Amino acid sequence: MLRSMYSGITGMKNFQTKLDVIGNNIANVDTYGFKKGRVTFKDAISQMTAGASAATTTKGGTNPLQVGLGSTVASIDTIDTQASMQNTGRGLDLAINGDGYFTVSDGAGGKLYTRAGNFYLDNQGTIVTSDGYKVLGIDGNPITIDPSTTQSYSINATGQVTAVQNGTATVVGTIGLTKFANPSGLNKVGGNLFQQSANSGTPNAGSTLPANQSLEVAGSGGTGSIASGFLEMSNVDLSEEFTDMIVAERGFQANSRIITTSDEVLQELLNLKH
């Protein structure tokens, strides 16, 4: 069989993967804190038909003769660039202006991370995500605003939560941030949440934190500041995604044409016996 036919198959599979990633990006164009994906390709193994030769006193050198056998997916990257912020005016809508992630408890002793800061208060006054995961403070514990004694509350740029309780302003906690050496290496686990992976690095690596502090204060340790009343939008650019979709579609069509052309060549070979 012709090698070009199998090369075309690899190209079609790769562009299918690219279209899958593009489709997910477009589906999350309005998802708070979403970080888009990107697919890159690399050439597959090349078959050697003749090796290179070095120059001699009587004859020059020759280059190797190789036939490529298609392409493969090199990476599916998470692009963790800062997205634009939307003004909501809601006190528990928080956006990180810079690096870092909000840290939440997964309910089983583990930690998850998110850039989506649309937080809420549960019936106990604890700050939680839309799925009920508790947002952690710099001491690694959830932050609770006592609903029975609190008249109002505010959150400043360092994540400090101040509640007016019985007419007195009291700091009830400070929302902590986590920074990774390689945030693109985090695992997406759904629900706007990320999970530490083997290549993301350890949380807040290299930071010197006090004994009673397990997370960074916003604005320190390389983390960004917190903007209350704002939400970070998705960093998906629709014009870019539609352009990439057209390129991927044409690439898929071109590779399918390779297969049909190779099939026509094989048909001609079969017709030689008539």
Contact 143, 216 (CB under 8 A): no
pLDDT digits (tens, 9 = 90+) for 152-164: 999 999 999 999 9
**How far, in Å, CA of 188 to CA of 213, rounded?**
26
Helix residue ranges per DSSP H, 28-97: none
| The two three-digit tokens of residue 161, written as one number | 């939560």
The pLDDT of residue 232 is above 70: yes
Mean pLDDT lowest for which of 1-5, 144-148, 213-217, 251-255?
A: 1-5
**How far, in Å, CA of 237 to CA of 142, rounded?**
35
The pLDDT of residue 1 is above 70: no
pLDDT digits (tens, 9 = 90+) for 83-96: 999 999 999 999 99
pLDDT digits (tens, 9 = 90+) for 234-274: 999 999 999 999 999 999 999 999 888 887 888 888 888 76
Domain ranges within the chain, ordered by starting residue = 3-49+63-80+236-271, 85-232
Interior/surface letters 197-234, b for 16+ CB within 10 angstroms, e for the rest: eeebbebbeeeeeeeebbbbbbbebebbbbbbbbbbbb
Please report which confidence band the pLDDT of residue 31 belongs to, taking 50, 70 and 90 as the band edges.
very high
